[in-house]
Amino acid sequence: MYIKKTESYYRRDLYQGILKQPLRKYYQEPEGRYLSLLTNNTEDVVDSYIAGIYDIVQMVSAVLFALVSLIYIDIRMIVLSLGVGILYLLISGKLGEKLSGYKNSYYDEIGKNVIKIKELLSAFEIIRNNKLESFADHSFNQSKEELLEKKRVFSVKISNINSYNLILGEGLIIAIISIVSILVIRDEIRIGELVAIAQLMSSLINPIGGLNEIINERNSSKELL
């Protein structure tokens, strides 16, 4: 019920936001961008910008639980865990900065495709009467191929960023285990605590990675508005 109500407000605000734009800015954008944003893109933007709220709550809860557990094992772990968490957010955030640019490019191409389809359908009678079916077919296929290429590039970039974040997270966990192993050698921490710390660090870093993905997605969605 909450999501449905929020989505309704979101769609209304989106439309009102377009209407409130200065005329000069409005006419600088292609018509297809607005058509695409209000139709094709709305579901995607709503999913990434609104539906992620529950995921954020769940991941923040997991991070807090991991932090409390680490502090319970050894108070020194709070410094290590916070340092690792901040470092992970900063690096993965840098990796995802260009995501909004690729998403904008993809959605601009959707807008162009919408305009092309609108033009072809509007000229249906002219195309038929002048036997321009081959030209119309070529024009449509060209627009479709350009859209698919933009979609492919966008999908590849998302996949690459997620892979880099995964590698970064695993690398940080290994680095933490190496540091804590020194404390084990010094008899400051037991082996059982080392195992628990490794598991909790994984429980800390993985949700942070998920949070960063959601934040990148939400930020890229906001850039569309």
Q: How far from each other are the two terminal CA atoms of the chain, in whole angstroms? A: 24
Alpha-helical regions (H) of 74-188: 77-95, 99-122, 124-129, 133-185
Sequence-distant (6+) residues with CB within 8 A of 127 are: 120, 133, 135, 136
Contact 3, 50 (CB under 8 A): yes
The pLDDT value given to residue 140 = 85
Mean of pLDDT values over 186-207: 82
Kindly report the average pLDDT of the chain as a whole number: 75
Does 68 or 1 have the greater pLDDT score?
68
Structure tokens at 208: 């942070």
Predicted confidence band of residue 49 (pLDDT cuts 50, 70, 90): low
Q: Which two tokens stand for residue 2?
A: 């909450």
Range in 45-49, 130-134, 177-181, 190-194 the model is least confident about: 45-49
pLDDT tens track for 5-27: 555 656 666 666 666 766 666 66
Average confidence (pLDDT) over 74-103: 77
- For residue 43, the model assigns a pLDDT of 57
Which pLDDT belongs to residue 25?
63
Tell me the C-alpha distance between 112 and 118, whole Å: 10
Specify the pLDDT at position 175. Answer: 84
Report the pLDDT averaged over residues 183-212.
81
Q: Calculate mean pLDDT across residues 49-71.
A: 76
CA distance 109 to 211: 28
Q: How far apart are CA 2 and CA 126, in angstroms?
A: 48
Q: What are phi and psi for residue 79, nearest 5 degrees?
A: -65, -45
Nearest to residue 40, comparing CAs of 98, 100, 112?
112
* Residue type at position 51: A
Give the per-residue pLDDT at 18.
Answer: 66
- Which residue in the block uniquely carries the two structure tokens 């906001």? 222
Token pair of 89, please?
């957010």
200 vs 65, 74, 114, 142, CA distance in Å? Answer: 9, 12, 48, 51
| pLDDT on residue 45 | 56
Listed residue (67, 86, 79) closest to 197, CA to CA: 67
Q: What integer is the mean pLDDT of 61-84?
A: 81
125-140 pLDDT tens trace: 888 888 888 888 888 8
pLDDT at 102 over 60: yes
CB 30 within 8 A of CB 171: no
Of 182, 173, 159, give the one whose Cα is nearest residue 206: 173
Per the structure block, which two tokens stand in for 3? 């999501």
Q: What is the pLDDT of residue 125?
A: 80
Question: How much is the pLDDT for 160?
Answer: 86
Give residue-wise pLDDT tens across range 202-225: 877 877 777 777 666 666 555 555
For the segment 109-133, the average pLDDT, to the nearest whole number, is 81
- On whether the CB atoms of residues 88 and 208 are closer than 8 A, the answer is yes
* Domains within the chain, CATH numbers bracketed: 2-222 (1.20.1560.10)
